[in-house]
Structures are given as structure tokens and as C-alpha cells.
Amino acid sequence: MTEKDLASLKVQQDRLMHDIHSTCEWGKGERWGDGHTETGMSRLSLSDTDKQARDWFAETTKSLGCKVTTDAMGNQFAVRPGLNEGAPTYAGSHLDTQPTGGRYDGILGVTAGVEMLRTLNDNWVETNYPTGVINWTNEEGARFPKSMVSSGVWAGDIPITDAHTLKSVIPANDTATMKSELERIGYLGRTPCSHTAMPIAAHFELHIEQGPILEAENRRVGIVRGVQSYKWFTITVRGKESHTGATSFAHRADALLLASKCILASHRIATKHNALASTGILNLRPGSTNTVPGFVEFSLDIRSPSNDIVEEVEAECRAAFSALTSNDSTEPEAAHSHTSSLTCDISWRTDFVSPATSFHQDCISCATTSAAALCSPSSTSTPEADANLNLGAWGKLMTSGAGHDSVYTSKHAPTCMIFAPSRDGVSHNPREFTTPEGCADGAQVLLGAVVRYDRLRGQRAGVGRMGSR
């Protein structure tokens, strides 16, 4: 197909938005506005509403001529045949959401993949190799607390026994495991969950940005070069419970006070290194107004595009936290505190490590060329030439601050991501919103990237016969 032929392939915005909003009837969450679609989503992985969305995905893609395979982690692979045999080029994302999430995180990527299949069928396009769409299981890690777990099993980084035995944390006191819920809803597939059993030629993921940059800079689309490094820790502080009225400052071992100093120190250290640090979970005991806390557990999330910087921030935090347990600490966070004759103990547990990921240049080039064709149709230069230049005012090369299934696919297949703007940078919240035009722009770039990659594969193999049926 020529660039002129590719330019004629247009996604249908209304059809895409219908798929997004009709599938969001399953698992509707908190209302944030008066409009029919102004609700969030609460479609937890392997729930009854997740089954409804999975059933829709399977039935719809089969009706479009795809063969659908479900693996042992419930990942769904819908494959449209090509002119030649080979691993498919996929568009992939997820249909599960946060407990109080929105309508676009993950959902846009899967529905845009389905729209890609519809557009190829509408135009009777035959690709050189199979193309397809993947719905990855439990990407959010909200119900079963390990994000991107099923793509991690596919990549061989997470043992399937560990994944299958993950226990549900929502609702509280739930005894279900991933395996028992896969069995219950009928999505425990017989195909092994592995990159050898279900190979991927390339993986393109459209996702909302989940940040404010594209909207703030008035960009239509982001082309993602990679995902930043991050580490998750649980920090435990043990002090001594005591009566707030009967215990002077000099005789307290206040675990919460020390924890708060540690959190402040983590932000100071991260800022110094142009990195990020966040605490999102804080548990303490005994939780009484008139009792000094003797036990505090808090999370620490450290992120940077550089693995080395994450390691430096961690090392400095460990040193600073340790120093803060001492009465003679010189840390800034120790200033203006009362000296105590008692101290607290502090310990660390590493919960998750995700090294920095760099995406494949071939995929980045195909996505950038596709974006250039969308956003600069009147340019005097070719889309390929535009792709090799600065993206200009309409697009932006970016690094993702959040983890995605593409992190794991990139370990075994060329991978790239495409970002659509997020209003106010809001995500993991019912008010999460991307305009219909922004959704369609992202879907158009996704379609163009997948088709261009298929054409590139054909050219390199000498079988470049992609065209119309």
C-alpha cells in the first residue's frame, strides 16, 4: 500500500465512542456529572462485569473474522489472518479498571484495536501478516495486587504459580484467587501463558497519557519512547505506644512522627535528583486519638527515567531514614523536634522493581510516521521525512511515567506506545476524560502504525503484497 492508500484508511469516531461507552455499561462507577456517560468505572479484574466485557470482546472480534485464543492467565488474543503465516502484529491494552477509575484507561486501547479491525475490514485490506488485538488480564493490579501480572507471566518474568495464587483484596476478606476466579468466569484458557506459545511480532499500545503535558502544550498525540524506572517499598517503623497526655515528648518513641519525617526526606531527596517519590498507603496502630502510635507502615514509590537515579534516591533515603532514628540527626527534617530519650526502629521491604524500558525504534518510527500523516496532511515533505524531524506543535516524543503491559512485551517483541491527551491530567478517577476527537486521533495513529509495521515486515521479507481484497 502506498501512503495515498494508507491515507484513505480512516477510523470512525462515532463507532469508536459507541464501543467505549456501550462497554462501560458493565461496571459503571461513581457519577461525576449529569450526562449519560459522565460516570466512572469499577470493573475489577475477573469480576462478573469483567466477564461481560470479555464476552463482548470475544464475540465482536470473532464476528470480524478473528480467531480468539485465551491463555492460562485469561489473556485474550484476537487474530485476523494475513496473506502470509507468522506471528501477528498486535494492538494491546486492558479492559479492567481501578475501583474508582474512569472510562479510558486501558479501555481506549482495546476498543481502538477493535476499531482498527473494523476499518481494515471496511476497506477490504489484506495485511502481509496476521494482525490482532490483545486484552491483557489484571493490568491494574487493583483486585489482585500485582500490576501487569499477566503480561509478566507471558514474558516469563512472573511464575504462573505465583500469579494464580494471588488473593483478591477487593472486597475485603475475599478468599478468591486469580485461578479460582478465572475458573469461575470461564476464562482459564488451556493455551500456556508464554511468549513462545503466543508469540508477538510487535506490540502497539494506545493509552491515555494519565498526565497533564499533552493538554498543557496543546499536543494532539504523544509518541512514547519508553517507560521510566520505578521501585516500590514498604517501610515499617516501630516505636512505643504511650498515653498522649501522660507521656512527655522527651519520653516518646512516636512512630508516626518519624514516618512523617521520612516521607518529607524522600521528597527532598527525589527533588534533588529530579526524580519522583510518593507515599500512597499509610497504616498505623493503635489508631486512637489519645495514644502515641507505636507502629506505622507506609509505602514509598521512587521513579525516574534513569535506573541509576532510582538507585541513588533509594540509597540516600535509606541513609536519611536511618539517621532520623538517631537523636543527634542532622537531617533537615529533624529540626524543630523535641529530643527524646527513646528511639524507633525502621525496616524496608522491596515490593516491586521495574527497570527503565526503551521501546523499539522501528515501532517508534512507524507510530511517528502515522502521527505525521494525521497531523501534517498538507506538509510539502513526506510523512517519512516528517517522522525524522522534530514532531512540531502537534506531537511530542515522551517517556511514560506509569507502567503498562508494553513494559513486558518489549522484552520479547518490538514495542511502542501512543498517548492521547488526558483532561487536567486526571486518571484513576471517575473524572478521567479524553475528548472524542482525542480518542479518534489516537486510534488513527494506532491503525497507521500497525499497518506501516506490517508493510515494513513485508518489505524486509520480500513479501510486500499488502493491499485490498
The angle subtended at Cα 398 by Cα 397 and Cα 400, nearest 5°, is 155
Number of domains in the chain: 2
Amino acid at 325: T
Listed residue (91, 139, 104, 78) closest to 24, CA to CA: 104
Q: Which helix (H) or strand (E) is 330 found in, with range?
A: none
Q: Read off the pLDDT band of 387 (50, 70, 90).
A: very low
d(CA 200, CA 221): 25
Question: Average pLDDT in the 196-209 region?
Answer: 98
176 and 257 in a single domain? The answer is: no
Task: Choose the final residue of a domain: 330, 353, 376.
Answer: 353
d(CA 98, CA 430): 10
Mean pLDDT for the chain? 93
Radius of gyration of the chain (CA): 24
Q: Is 147 helix (H, G, I), strand (E, B) or coil?
A: coil
d(CA 293, CA 173): 25
With a cut of 70, say whether residue 367 has pLDDT above it: yes
64 and 200 in a single domain? The answer is: yes
Question: Average pLDDT in the 184-213 region?
Answer: 98
Q: Read off the pLDDT band of 148 (50, 70, 90).
A: very high
With a cut of 90, say whether residue 163 has pLDDT above it: yes
Listed residue (439, 463, 433, 459) closest to 38, CA to CA: 433
12 and 144 in a single domain? The answer is: yes
For 35-45, how does the pLDDT look when each residue is reduced to its tens digit (9 = 90+)? 999 999 999 99
Amino acid at 252: R
212 and 276 in a single domain? The answer is: no
Q: Is 175 helix (H, G, I), strand (E, B) or coil?
A: coil
Residue 194: how many CB atoms within 10 A of its CB?
Answer: 17
Distance of CA 408 to the CA centre of its chain: 11
Cell of 243: 498515653
d(CA 422, CA 424): 6
Reduce the secondary structure of 227-292 to three states and give it as a string.
ECEEEEEEEEEECECEECCCCCHHHCECHHHHHHHHHHHHHHHHHHCCCEEECCCEEEECCCCCEE
Q: From residue 194, how far is each of 146, 199, 255 by CA, in Å?
A: 18, 8, 44
Provide the pLDDT for residue 30: 96
For 215-261, how does the pLDDT look when each residue is reduced to its tens digit (9 = 90+)? 999 999 999 999 999 999 999 999 999 999 999 999 999 999 999 99
383 and 429 in a single domain? The answer is: yes
195 and 298 in a single domain? The answer is: no
For 318-346, how does the pLDDT look when each residue is reduced to its tens digit (9 = 90+)? 999 999 998 656 667 666 566 777 899 99
Provide the pLDDT for residue 142: 94
Task: Choose the final residue of a domain: 320, 337, 353.
Answer: 353
Task: Choose the final residue of a domain: 353, 373, 408.
Answer: 353
What's 267's domain CATH number? 3.30.70.360
Q: Under a CB-based contact definition with an 8 Å cutoff, are residues 172 and 184 in contact?
A: no
Q: Is 213 helix (H, G, I), strand (E, B) or coil?
A: helix
Pairing of strands 345-354, 125-126: unpaired
With a cut of 80, say whether residue 392 has pLDDT above it: no
Indicate the range of 3-17, 278-292, 369-383 predicted with least confidence: 369-383
Provide the pLDDT for residue 337: 65
364 and 349 in a single domain? The answer is: no
- Which residues span the domain enclosing 149? 3-228+356-468
φ, ψ of residue 197 to 5 degrees: the values are: -75, -35
What's 11's domain CATH number? 3.40.630.10
d(CA 379, CA 196): 43
8 and 155 in a single domain? The answer is: yes
With a cut of 80, say whether residue 126 has pLDDT above it: yes
237 and 256 in a single domain? The answer is: yes
293 and 252 in a single domain? The answer is: yes
101 and 241 in a single domain? The answer is: no
d(CA 410, CA 412): 5
For 2-33, how does the pLDDT look when each residue is reduced to its tens digit (9 = 90+)? 888 888 899 999 999 999 999 999 999 999 99
Provide the pLDDT for residue 173: 86
Provide the pLDDT for residue 261: 96
220 and 239 in a single domain? The answer is: no
